[in-house]
């Protein structure tokens, strides 16, 4: 048993490793990681093979101290994951509609030009009056959008799915700003 009361698994997920590096309690939702990045990492872990999961572990240090607030931070990661899933093309009608709405909402938050779709039409202005739209989007909405987008991407990834998912996670880190230009990136 670990000091946190859980059995130590031979394959921790990248978020559990981050929690250890950050000296937080053993969890797959460390507070030092932006919730949208954490959701992407968990979903990618869940859709990877054992070898693919191990290949994600060198990325762990890049997640440290990424939990800064801001609608743009979440929207960039959502836009990336959703556009990747939409490029797959083969999804159910419901998935397509949800992902299209998620993409429109992310674009609205990033540029202000597109109109948010679905429930975001009412909750963004309503919660915005109280300053709650950013934490609501970051914690609940964006994480769900990212998880669904990763699931669609994984289901339709041809060739080396693990490699494509790991690349997506690296792109999420770059979109967030956790991978800075010129900084060495783990393979």
Report mean pLDDT in 10-residue bins for the chain, 187 residues: 48 92 95 97 96 96 93 95 92 94 94 84 92 94 97 90 96 82 45
| Residue 67 counted as domain residue | yes
pLDDT at 136: 95
Distance between CA atoms of 74 and 130, rounded to whole angstroms?
A: 19
| Residue 86 counted as domain residue | yes
pLDDT at 30: 97
- Give the number of other CB atoms < 10 A from CB of residue 151: 17
pLDDT at 178: 65
Split into its structural domains, the chain has a count of: 1
pLDDT at 89: 78
pLDDT at 158: 78
DSSP strands (E only) in 110-182: none
Q: What global pTM score does this model have?
A: 0.88
| Residue 4 counted as domain residue | no
Q: Are 17 and 9 in contact (CB under 8 A)?
A: no
pLDDT at 14: 96
| Residue 64 counted as domain residue | yes
pLDDT at 138: 94
**What is the domain extent for residue 80?**
14-176
| Residue 18 counted as domain residue | yes
| Residue 185 counted as domain residue | no
Task: Give the angle 60-165-91 at the CA atoms, nearest 5°.
Answer: 140
| Helix/strand number for the chain, H first, E second | 10, 0
pLDDT at 187: 46
Which distant-in-sequence residues (6+ apart) come within 8 Å of 140 by Cβ?
A: none
| Residue 141 counted as domain residue | yes
| Residue 31 counted as domain residue | yes
Length of the chain: 187
Which distant-in-sequence residues (6+ apart) come within 8 Å of 19 by Cβ?
A: 25, 26, 27, 28, 30
């Amino acid at each position: 048993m670990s000091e946190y009361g859980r059995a130590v698994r031979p394959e921790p997920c990248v978020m559990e490793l981050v929690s250890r590096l950050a000296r937080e309690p053993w969890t797959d939702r460390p507070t030092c990681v932006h919730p949208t990045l954490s959701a992407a990492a968990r979903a990618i872990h869940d859709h990877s093979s054992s070898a693919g999961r191990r290949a994600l572990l060198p990325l762990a240090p890049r997640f440290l101290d990424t939990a800064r607030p801001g609608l743009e931070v979440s929207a960039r990661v959502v836009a990336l994951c959703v556009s990747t899933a939409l490029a797959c093309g083969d999804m159910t009608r419901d998935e397509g509609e949800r992902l299209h709405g998620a993409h429109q909402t992310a674009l609205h938050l990033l540029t202000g030009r597109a109109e948010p779709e679905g429930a975001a039409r009412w909750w963004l202005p309503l919660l915005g009056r109280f300053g709650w739209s950013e934490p609501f989007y970051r914690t609940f909405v964006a994480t769900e959008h990212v998880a669904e987008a990763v699931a669609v991407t994984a289901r339709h990834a041809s060739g080396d799915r693990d490699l494509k998912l790991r690349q997506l996670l690296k792109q999420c880190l770059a979109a967030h700003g956790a991978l800075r230009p010129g900084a060495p990136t783990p393979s």
